């Protein structure tokens, strides 16, 4: 008979054996990063617009991502339900029509029950969807599901569409860990590799996928998954052996170099972190602190044609009441504020009085693209007051940004707007040029 006190030791030993087998298995070198270069048209006029991608005012909405579909069309995905972690959370989507400049009605892409039936295991909740169009014109959707425990018990599921999101494959769960396949979450944009064209910074039809992920079980740390073109895990690489960071946003700098910006999850420094790779994601440097503050909140970054980066983040030590747009060089040494994308009317994020809230929030709602809901403003005001106000007053919340740059060279940013909507901002290089001091 095995003594009770020996069980944890045996379990630890089993985990160690599985982990050693997983990590010691030979892994192929990664092909160079693929990149899509755009040269901005200097004659293009500055352009900026705000829209609300989601339309259901009843549910809590969170963790959006967006992908270009070609021709200026977009698809955004997010999770929505009674609250984060509730059993009724769904993965939803909407499509942006470049001709009409409007977002479509919402569509459900994945549910807890549907995922449960597809993967053959109990599913408690869903979260964090990520969407991206691959070089072979297949549209990938990755999202998180939890079978046991909290978010530390997560796994990543994949769906793919061959017709730009009209129809989707059955969800399939990625095998990312050697023991119970738990504690892998996705949040950052995928990166595509130029397999077969090593050294050439171009997309390749058979390119593999680099998927930034993170763990929350027995420590919080980021990793880089290498998937083949069919979405099967080929290898995994720890990003910098960090212990208090998660949700990496990876931006390739050339075919072999990339930087990962990391959300800080510790209790002391509250600074944005960065790690680098010079071998296409196989090895990463030790994370180091950067200039901007980070209050344990998600960050989004995207590359620009001149090699610099755009970064959207809550540059605060505490709270998520302000979302700021930054520009920085590829070395991440020189940070320049391009302006506040959204912010509380109180500079310290303190609640404002109930009497002031309706006028302030309605103005922000209209400026955010709420004109399409002009006939539902009373409903909006009721719902947002119930969600954002308490006995202490009313607060504002702008979080979980996600960046992409489409084939036409335009930037698209989506984020959670006061837990009520997924907000979409779009702008071009000419608009950014106006923000130079």
Tens-level pLDDT at each residue, the chain (437 residues): 333 333 344 334 444 434 433 443 445 567 777 755 555 555 589 999 999 999 999 999 999 999 999 999 999 999 999 999 999 999 999 999 999 999 999 999 999 999 999 999 999 999 999 999 998 899 999 999 999 888 888 999 999 999 999 999 999 999 997 777 778 999 999 999 986 433 333 333 457 999 999 998 878 899 999 999 999 999 999 998 878 899 999 999 998 999 999 999 988 889 999 999 999 999 999 999 999 999 999 999 999 999 999 999 999 999 999 999 999 999 999 999 999 999 999 999 999 999 999 999 999 999 999 999 999 999 999 999 999 999 999 999 999 999 999 999 999 999 999 999 999 999 999 999 998 76
Q: What is the 3-state secondary structure (H, E, C) of 178-245?
A: CCCCCCCEECCCCEEECCCCCCCCCCCCCCCEEEEEEECCCCEEEEEEEECCCCCEEEEEECCCCCEE
pLDDT of residue 269: 83
Q: What domains appear along the chain, each with residue ranges and CATH number?
A: 52-344+396-433 (2.120.10.10)
Answer yes or no: are the C-beta atoms of 210 and 192 closer than 8 Å.
Answer: yes
Per-residue model confidence (pLDDT) at position 395: 97
- Quick one: pLDDT at residue 2? 36
The helix (run of H) or strand (run of E) holding residue 365 is: helix 357-367
pLDDT of residue 93: 98
In sequence order, which residues have a C-beta less than 8 Å from that of residue 267 and are 6 or more positions away?
Answer: none
Cα angle value 386/387/391 (rounded, 5°):
65
Specify the pLDDT at position 181: 78
Distance CA 40, CA 263 (A): 30
Alpha-carbon gap, residue 168 to 162, rounded angstroms: 8
CA dihedral 387, 262, 129, 160 (to 10 degrees): 170
360-378 b/e (C-beta count within 10 Å ≥ 16 → b): ebeebbeebbbeebeeeee
What contacts 182, CB < 8 A, 6 or more positions away? 147, 148, 149, 152, 153, 154, 155, 217
Distance of CA 29 to the CA centre of its chain: 26
Q: Report how far Cα 183 is from the mean position of its chain's Cα atoms.
A: 17
User: What's residue 219's pLDDT?
Assistant: 80
**Secondary structure (3-state) at 314:** coil
């Amino acid at each position: 008979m095995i003594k009770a006190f020996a069980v944890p030791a045996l379990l630890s030993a089993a985990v160690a054996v599985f982990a050693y087998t997983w990590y010691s298995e030979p892994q192929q070198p990664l092909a160079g990063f693929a990149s899509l270069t755009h040269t901005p048209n200097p004659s293009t006029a500055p352009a900026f617009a705000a829209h609300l991608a989601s339309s259901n005012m009843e549910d809590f909405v969170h963790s959006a991502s967006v992908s270009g579909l070609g021709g200026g069309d977009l698809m955004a995905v997010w999770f929505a339900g009674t609250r984060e972690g509730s059993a009724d959370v769904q993965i939803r989507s909407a499509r942006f029509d470049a001709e009409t400049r409007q977002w479509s009605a919402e569509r459900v892409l994945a549910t807890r029950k549907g995922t449960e039936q597809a993967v053959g295991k109990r599913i408690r909740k869903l979260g964090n969807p990520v969407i991206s169009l691959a070089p072979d014109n297949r549209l990938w959707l990755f999202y998180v599901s939890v079978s046991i425990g909290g978010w530390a018990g997560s796994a990543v599921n994949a769906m793919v569409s061959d017709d730009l999101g009209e129809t989707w494959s059955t969800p399939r769960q990625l095998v990312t860990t050697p023991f119970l396949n738990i504690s892998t979450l996705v949040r950052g944009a995928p990166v595509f590799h130029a397999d077969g064209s090593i050294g050439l910074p171009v997309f390749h039809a058979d390119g593999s996928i680099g998927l930034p992920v993170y763990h929350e079980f027995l420590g919080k740390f980021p990793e880089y998954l290498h998937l083949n073109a069919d979405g099967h895990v080929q290898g995994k690489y720890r990003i910098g052996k960090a212990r208090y960071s998660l949700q990496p946003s990876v931006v390739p700098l050339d075919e072999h170099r990339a930087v990962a910006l990391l959300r800080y999850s510790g209790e002391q420094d509250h600074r944005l972190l960065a790690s680098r790779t010079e071998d296409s994601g196989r090895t990463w440097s030790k994370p180091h602190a950067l200039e901007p503050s980070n209050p344990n909140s998600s960050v989004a970054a995207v590359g620009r044609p001149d090699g610099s980066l755009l970064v959207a983040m809550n540059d605060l030590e505490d709270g998520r009441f302000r979302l700021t747009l930054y520009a920085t060089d590829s070395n991440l040494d020189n940070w320049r504020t391009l302006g506040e994308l959204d912010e509380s009317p109180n500079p310290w994020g303190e609640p404002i009085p109930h009497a002031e809230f309706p006028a302030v929030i309605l103005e922000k709602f209209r400026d955010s693209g709420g004109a399409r809901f002009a006939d539902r403003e009373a409903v909006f005001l009721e719902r947002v007051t119930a969600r954002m106000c308490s006995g202490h007053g009313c607060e504002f919340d702008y979080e979980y940004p996600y960046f992409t740059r489409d084939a036409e060279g335009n930037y698209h940013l989506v984020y959670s707007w006061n837990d009520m909507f997924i907000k979409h901002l779009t702008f071009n290089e000419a608009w950014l040029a106006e923000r130079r001091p």
